[in-house]
């Protein structure tokens, strides 16, 4: 899962995807705080490039250059990237300006 979480709520050894952040899983489903009514987006997997764009309280996703639109809105400002991977997945992070 890829998303964001508030620094003061993130649990290093916890299940953040279920209650402490705003995430999308590889099947494109929203998970986390108040996920009711959020759209399913493009699925992603090995080799996918996933971009998160945060602006004015809105979190949008771009999967392999396809704009999936806003998944979460009215978010707080104190958010940090957060990831939850299983089964030997790897991750490379690049901050874009």
pLDDT of 17 above 70: no
- 40 within some domain: yes
- 57 within some domain: yes
How would residue 89 be classed by pLDDT, with cut points 50, 70 and 90? low
Q: How many domains does the structure of the chain reveal? A: 1
Q: Which of 64, 82, 65, 81 is nearest to 14 (CA)?
A: 82
Domain around 64: 2-83
pLDDT tens, residue by residue, 39-87: 788 888 878 888 889 999 999 999 999 999 999 999 888 888 887 766 6
CA 21 – CA 10 distance, rounded (Å): 7
How would residue 32 be classed by pLDDT, with cut points 50, 70 and 90? confident
- 91 within some domain: no
- 71 within some domain: yes
pLDDT at 42: 86
DSSP-based three-state secondary structure for 19: helix
């Amino acid at each position: 899962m890829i998303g964001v979480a508030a620094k003061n709520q993130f649990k290093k050894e916890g299940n953040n995807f279920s209650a402490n952040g705003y995430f999308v899983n590889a099947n494109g489903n929203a998970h986390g705080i108040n996920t009711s009514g959020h759209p399913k987006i493009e699925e992603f997997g090995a080799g996918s490039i996933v971009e998160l764009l945060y602006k004015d309280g809105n979190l949008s996703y771009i999967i392999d250059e396809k704009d999936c639109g806003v998944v979460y809105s009215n978010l707080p400002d104190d958010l940090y990237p957060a990831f939850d991977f299983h089964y030997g997945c790897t991750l490379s992070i690049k901050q874009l300006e």
